[in-house]
Amino acid sequence: MFEAHFQSFDDAPEGAASAPRVKALRTELARRGLTGFIVPRADRHQNEYVPAADERLAWLTGFTGSAGAAVVLMDRAALFVDGRYTLQARQQADLSIFAIEHLVENPPPRWLEANLAAGDRLGYDPWLHNVESAERLAKACVAAGATLVAVEADLFDAIWPDRPAPPLGPVKLHDMRFAGEEATAKLARIRGEIGKLKADALVISDPHAVAWTFNIRGSDVAHTPLPLAFALIPREGLPALYVDGRKLSNEVRHALAPLADLREPAALPGDLAALGAAKKTVRLDQATAADALARLITAPGGKAPRGPDPIAVMKAVKNPVEIAGARAAHRRDGVAVVRFLQWLEREAASGKLTEIDAVEALESFRRDTLALKDISFPTIAGAGPDGAIVHYRVTRKTNRVISPGLFLIDSGAQYEDGTTDITRTVAIGESTAEMRERFTRVLKGHIAIARAVFPEGTTGAQIDPLARQFLWRAGLDFDHGTGHGVGSYLSVHEGPARLSKLGTTALQRGMILSNEPGYYKAGEYGIRIENLVLVIEAPPVEGAEKPLNAFEPLTLVPIDRRLVEIGMLTAEELHWLNDYHARVARELAPHLDAQARAWLQEATRPLAVA
Amino acid sequence: MFEAHFQSFDDAPEGAASAPRVKALRTELARRGLTGFIVPRADRHQNEYVPAADERLAWLTGFTGSAGAAVVLMDRAALFVDGRYTLQARQQADLSIFAIEHLVENPPPRWLEANLAAGDRLGYDPWLHNVESAERLAKACVAAGATLVAVEADLFDAIWPDRPAPPLGPVKLHDMRFAGEEATAKLARIRGEIGKLKADALVISDPHAVAWTFNIRGSDVAHTPLPLAFALIPREGLPALYVDGRKLSNEVRHALAPLADLREPAALPGDLAALGAAKKTVRLDQATAADALARLITAPGGKAPRGPDPIAVMKAVKNPVEIAGARAAHRRDGVAVVRFLQWLEREAASGKLTEIDAVEALESFRRDTLALKDISFPTIAGAGPDGAIVHYRVTRKTNRVISPGLFLIDSGAQYEDGTTDITRTVAIGESTAEMRERFTRVLKGHIAIARAVFPEGTTGAQIDPLARQFLWRAGLDFDHGTGHGVGSYLSVHEGPARLSKLGTTALQRGMILSNEPGYYKAGEYGIRIENLVLVIEAPPVEGAEKPLNAFEPLTLVPIDRRLVEIGMLTAEELHWLNDYHARVARELAPHLDAQARAWLQEATRPLAVA
């Protein structure tokens, strides 16, 4: 009945045939006078999702996780993964070739310092590392008496016979009724920032920023409508947009022509070198700018200062049209998720429903909106113990029946008017007192964020602990941030603001973030309650001395009332929950059929102290 | 009747005769081929309180604030102070000579970059800047085409005729019944850290750390029992303690001789140069180590890596004897403060009592304990509008009558068994509803910290927002951290832990911090409620998955119940306050006379919802 178009359930391949590939790499290294090479999981833009052509790490090592790196020396090799992936790496990699190392505790530079020999020549692709990463590698090499060698050509072209072609996803215009601000206006603001930074030009290396600036979207990577592209914005004069011409229809080309000189990506190095030769100052994004970009500018004598991408904050602060779009997208998404939850409650009773069934159904309900462009990430559907695995992805092999207990489902959609991301944890049959008690602690944290009022200038790091205090009191916590920024028909993980210990960016009105505290009991169940929230001006307060902000929930889906221990909520918390549910019912009911509407009425019925 | 021995009420001198002094400095610079000089308010240890001989900045500019710097060039000069001191600097400095600049917004390096001419030679005393500060100056000079020149000799010796002599406060042994750990054991732990840091030796440049390590105290600066001294701890072999021999009695010398080679401070440069020549790695404290120390080691070829002082955390974590001492000190101090508050309530009714009267009385009650060694900082006694000035220090000129409204008094004591720091805000006559409402918001923040339960590894930055949430909701906040670390018969401001946005150090059991949220209404009144708290293991929680910590209040003094709006407190908050007051009454009553005991009983009577 249902099916998933945007997500596969294939098991990760095991036991890759790495031996001949590593051998081919070593032969190629020897040919080039190198004694080692580092292979990150990265493309030229430091993207979260990378195109198949950039899956060098997976091809070489068999490891298919979303973060990692390998170092191949002549007599040894190591694969670096973080705690999430240790098990998976051991299953996927050939352990007779690769030692598995911890990406965070023993990162490549540290490992290199200990394993390189004096005189070694370690190669790296300067397009796949940002400047900071390259500097760390260089330092490690120096410490070991070795040399770091930039290899401009892509070594893998020579050794990867059936390498996929780079993607050529068509570029589409992002209509003003979604974008809300003309590209010309955005470019004027960006030029103002370039002036403030005392630079002659800015390289946009983050394709999200390219997409936002020029009001375009693409389809080069999964789940995020990105066009892989660079741009170069001079303080004065016409910008250049570096994008493969085969991605541009005549219509798109026509619309973009007045905004930018449309150039092939192969022209970028020469253009940067020319600016360098003219001793210009070209500003780079410290996070996404490849080391190669900096080298192209500085080699002929230019300056390439790095810092936060000035576009990141502009993009994070949504304009009124984007905000209206986000509200519409969340209403639409809420209808789909409510239909799913009603279906789930009915069908799970059979005791036969699986995690994959749930993922397929949810995507199908979303496709029923006729507006779904993609899911915003692979749905995390965790029944029982699988819910305790924070980054769980169901496969045919791990697929579990949704049996009595808790079921956690974290999912999102890409609509042209907005990106969604929602987690609900629902009771299947009877829940235990412990589950309800912990669910309620997570809920209290969620409500503490939702109800927070805070002065302008407050950072996400200052907000994050409010979500944890009730868990802390019980000796519990969750091992991830409380929230991340979310794009507007862009990435579901968007900087620079976040609700976490590391959230040093001030929260500004118009930013959209997730509010997703959780609790995970390994081997038993997981709890997470996630709404997206919009930073808004707080309602006026008599006597206030500072401009105040607050959060407005965008997500409109009931929170499972059967899991709430009412006695643990304060009057204010109960009031918030009942208010939220009343709003969910009011906004969604008109768009539901009678059966779903009846379910919604019950699911949003006010809770009252007995 | 009462008097203050440890605090003066002299007004800051105005309109210093800077002209001849600046002229003398410029002549001396010219003689040495320099075109400018930077004069920080600093001694060789980056101390908070500096000896009179190091008050170069005050002598040159007239400015007597606790932080600042001056730059004198041949044709211009600037005095840099922070926001607290802008007004005072304008009153004290000769504005025909010094431009007043903002120390934070336009710090010396930035100003130098704009004001130095190419070819200028800027002098600095490498003993008065840490390495980072010197590096920033060097960078600014390079950017301006100028040269930074280290001037090893103290220029001021030549131009400051009646310069005070360096202090020779006698060094005293800090008895084991206060210190709780033998210096030999501390040295063994320090050597372990030196080994972990892969260094050959450690320079202790922070005299607090010298005092802690060798279980000694001194009296070289005000309010903190510091002996100005350096130490050099080799990974193996006898440490060297660099201290002026005239500070050492035969008894002290005898006790220290087995622990360290007692050397004159003048021997330090040669000893460091010898280590450098032997290519040793000598670790420096990044915060307090003077640039001169690094230069002495690196010039002949040694390594001088910098990092956090490993002693800082050891010193911050109090041992059981220090904790018992802190409890005793706070009981003793509580008795003195309660006697003061009872006296204040009786005497303020006359309408004639002044801020200075209060300061004198409080110090006198503390001296009555017969254990007072010093106050831990100049008492801040702010009646009405003066309470809104966070760093207020009363002088003969600013002295104000304590009239109806709020009176804020922030003070502390140095006892051999512990250092105290307490702020109480009390109602004088009738308070307004607004005062009570805001007092109660501050109190709710104070209680949120006092009641916090948090997993091991939690930082002060994560705790700080809990104190602000109730003020934020009303559009209010306070412009300082929530708390700072406190030493054990050492500095009342001790690192590395703090409760503030900048508190990145994990809170550990045994640390003592202040809990002092506030609210300040400029021109009207100030509110601050401060207790010292000890980080302890939280009472066991059923089902806890992590080791949990909590705070135990050390300070034992009633919080003014007349200012509490009971209806704004939750049941838990009311419970905490009543419990705290019951404990205060129980612990202090036995040490009070009948009259004070009666006052205490009333001041700690349980509050109940009407």
- CA distance to A17, A54, A393, B89, B502, per residue, from A14 (Å): 9, 20, 16, 71, 46
Q: What is the DSSP string of A359-411?
A: HHHHHHHHHTTS---EESS--EEEEGGGGG-TT----TTT--B--SEEEEEEE
pLDDT at residue A83 in the model: 85
Q: What is the pLDDT of residues B148-159, one digit of tens each?
A: 999 989 999 999
Distance from CA of A523 to the nearest CA of B (A): 14
Distance from CA of B608 to the nearest CA of A (A): 19
Phi-psi domain of B370 (left: phi exceeds 0; alpha: psi -120 through 50; beta: other): left
Contact residues, chain A, for B500 at CB < 8 Å:
none
Q: What is the pLDDT of residues B553-600, one digit of tens each?
A: 999 999 999 999 999 999 999 999 999 999 999 999 999 999 999 999
Q: What is the pLDDT of residues B189-198, one digit of tens each?
A: 999 999 999 9
> What is the average per-residue pLDDT within B485-496?
97
Residues 6+ apart with CB under 8 A from A153: none
Task: DSSP letter for A32, please.
Answer: T
- Comparing CA positions, the residue from B565, B563, B533 lying closest to residue B549 is B533
Q: What is the pLDDT of residues A282-308, one digit of tens each?
A: 999 999 999 999 999 999 999 999 999
Say if residue B542's pLDDT is above 70.
yes
pLDDT at residue A17 in the model: 86
Separation of alpha carbons B282 and B122, rounded Å = 28
Contact residues, chain A, for B463 at CB < 8 Å:
465
pLDDT at residue A49 in the model: 87
Residues 6+ apart with CB under 8 A from B494: B208, B315, B316, B484, B485, B486, B487
pLDDT at residue A67 in the model: 93
Contact residues, chain B, for A462 at CB < 8 Å:
461, 464-465, 468, 501
Separation of alpha carbons B69 and B64, rounded Å = 11
Residue type present at position A346 = R
The alpha carbon dihedral of B411, B417, B418, B424 has a sign of negative
Contact residues, chain A, for B473 at CB < 8 Å:
453, 541
Separation of alpha carbons A201 and A430, rounded Å = 61
Distance from CA of A557 to the nearest CA of B (A): 27
Q: What is the pLDDT of residues A364-373, one digit of tens each?
A: 999 999 999 9
> What is the average per-residue pLDDT within B383-409?
95
Q: What is the pLDDT of residues B454-475, one digit of tens each?
A: 999 999 999 999 999 999 999 9
Say what percent of chain A tops pLDDT 90. 95
Among the partner residues A465, A477, A546, nearest to B465 by beta-carbon distance: A465
Say if CB B470 and CB B444 are below 8 A apart: yes
Contact residues, chain A, for B570 at CB < 8 Å:
570
Lowest-pLDDT choice from A11-25, A517-531, B40-54, B373-387: A11-25
pLDDT at residue B11 in the model: 83
pLDDT band at residue B523 using 50, 70 and 90 as cut-offs: very high
Distance from CA of B512 to the nearest CA of A (A): 21
Separation of alpha carbons B175 and B163, rounded Å = 35
Among the partner residues B465, B474, B548, nearest to A475 by beta-carbon distance: B548
B107 Cα distance to chain centroid: 22
CB–CB contact B475 A546 (8 Å): yes
- The residue whose two tokens read 């907000």 is A463
Closest residue in A to B572 (Cα–Cα): A570
Among the partner residues A453, A468, A474, nearest to B541 by beta-carbon distance: A474
Among the partner residues B475, B501, B545, nearest to A541 by beta-carbon distance: B475
Interface size between A and B, measured as CB pairs under 8 A: 82
Say if residue A588's pLDDT is above 80.
yes
Say if residue B312's pLDDT is above 80.
yes
Contact residues, chain B, for A466 at CB < 8 Å:
465-466, 469
CB–CB contact A469 B452 (8 Å): yes
Q: Give the tokens for residue B220.
A: 């070289």
CB–CB contact A544 B472 (8 Å): no
Among the partner residues B454, B475, B477, nearest to A543 by beta-carbon distance: B475
Separation of alpha carbons A216 and A265, rounded Å = 17
Residue type present at position A455 = P
Contact residues, chain A, for B546 at CB < 8 Å:
475-477
Q: What does the mean pLDDT of chain B come to? A: 96
Which secondary-structure segment (H or E) carries A234? Answer: strand A230-234
Say if residue B610's pLDDT is above 70.
no
> What is the average per-residue pLDDT within B257-269?
97
pLDDT band at residue B609 using 50, 70 and 90 as cut-offs: confident
- The residue whose two tokens read 């304009």 is A319
CB–CB contact A466 B462 (8 Å): no
Say if CB B79 and CB B60 are below 8 A apart: no
Closest residue in B to A453 (Cα–Cα): B473
CB–CB contact B475 A548 (8 Å): yes
CB–CB contact A466 B461 (8 Å): no
Distance from CA of B302 to the nearest CA of A (A): 16
* Sheet architecture: strand order including B453-455: B453-455, B548-553, B531-537, B512-515, B483-485, B494-499
pLDDT at residue A610 in the model: 62
* Sheet architecture: strand order including A405-411: A380-383, A405-411, A422-428
Distance from CA of A392 to the nearest CA of B (A): 22
Closest residue in A to B548 (Cα–Cα): A475
pLDDT at residue B15 in the model: 66
pLDDT at residue B17 in the model: 86
> What is the average per-residue pLDDT within A266-270?
97
CB–CB contact A472 B570 (8 Å): no
Which secondary-structure segment (H or E) carries A312? Answer: helix A310-316
pLDDT at residue B81 in the model: 96
CA atoms within 13 A on the CB side of A114: 9
Q: What does the mean pLDDT of chain A come to? A: 96
Q: What is the pLDDT of residues B266-284, one digit of tens each?
A: 999 999 999 999 999 999 9
Q: Give the tokens for residue B433.
A: 């509803």
Separation of alpha carbons B436 and B569, rounded Å = 12
Closest residue in A to B465 (Cα–Cα): A462
Contact residues, chain B, for A545 at CB < 8 Å:
475-477
pLDDT band at residue A374 using 50, 70 and 90 as cut-offs: very high
Alpha helices, DSSP H only, in B432-543?
433-450, 460-463, 469-472
Burial of B270 (0-12, 13-18, 19+ CB in 10 A): exposed
How large is the angle between the packed helices B131-144 and B291-298, nearest 10 degrees?
A: 90
| B127-155: burial string, b at 16+ Cβ within 10 Å, e else | bbbbbebbebbbebbeebebbbbebeeeb
Contact residues, chain A, for B452 at CB < 8 Å:
469, 472
Say if residue A515's pLDDT is above 90.
yes
Contact residues, chain B, for A473 at CB < 8 Å:
453, 541
Distance from CA of A242 to the nearest CA of B (A): 35
Contact residues, chain B, for A459 at CB < 8 Å:
501
Residues 6+ apart with CB under 8 A from A105: none
CB–CB contact A544 B461 (8 Å): no
Among the partner residues B458, B468, B474, nearest to A543 by beta-carbon distance: B474
CB–CB contact A543 B570 (8 Å): no
Q: Which of B545, B569, B573 to mutate to probe the A interface, most A CBs <10 Å? A: B545
Report strand pairing: A413-415 vs A374-375.
antiparallel
Contact residues, chain A, for B462 at CB < 8 Å:
461, 464-465, 468, 501
Q: Give the tokens for residue A305.
A: 């200062």
Contact residues, chain B, for A465 at CB < 8 Å:
462-463, 465-466
Distance from CA of A258 to the nearest CA of B (A): 40
CB–CB contact A475 B546 (8 Å): yes
Q: Taking the CB of residue A96, how many other CB atoms lie within 10 A of it? A: 7
CB–CB contact B461 A501 (8 Å): yes
Reported in sequence order, the residue ranges of B524-603 that DSSP labels E, i.e. its strands, are 525-528, 531-537, 548-553
Task: DSSP letter for A74, please.
Answer: S
Contact residues, chain A, for B541 at CB < 8 Å:
473-475
pLDDT at residue A87 in the model: 86
> What is the average per-residue pLDDT within A27-37?
97
Tell me the residues of B at the A interface, defined by beta carbons under 8 Å apart: 434, 452-455, 458-459, 461-466, 468-469, 472-477, 501, 538, 541, 543-546, 548, 570
CB–CB contact B543 A466 (8 Å): no
Q: Which of B110, B435, B466, B472 to mutate to probe the A interface, most A CBs <10 Å? A: B472
Among the partner residues B461, B477, B544, nearest to A546 by beta-carbon distance: B477
pLDDT at residue A15 in the model: 66
Q: Taking the CB of residue B391, how many other CB atoms lie within 10 A of it? A: 12
pLDDT band at residue A12 using 50, 70 and 90 as cut-offs: confident
> What is the average per-residue pLDDT within A128-143?
95
pLDDT at residue B59 in the model: 96
Say if residue B16's pLDDT is above 80.
no
Q: What is the pLDDT of residues A341-360, one digit of tens each?
A: 999 999 999 999 999 999 99
Q: Give the tokens for residue B91.
A: 């009153």
pLDDT at residue A458 in the model: 98
Closest residue in B to A519 (Cα–Cα): B545
3-state secondary structure of A462: helix
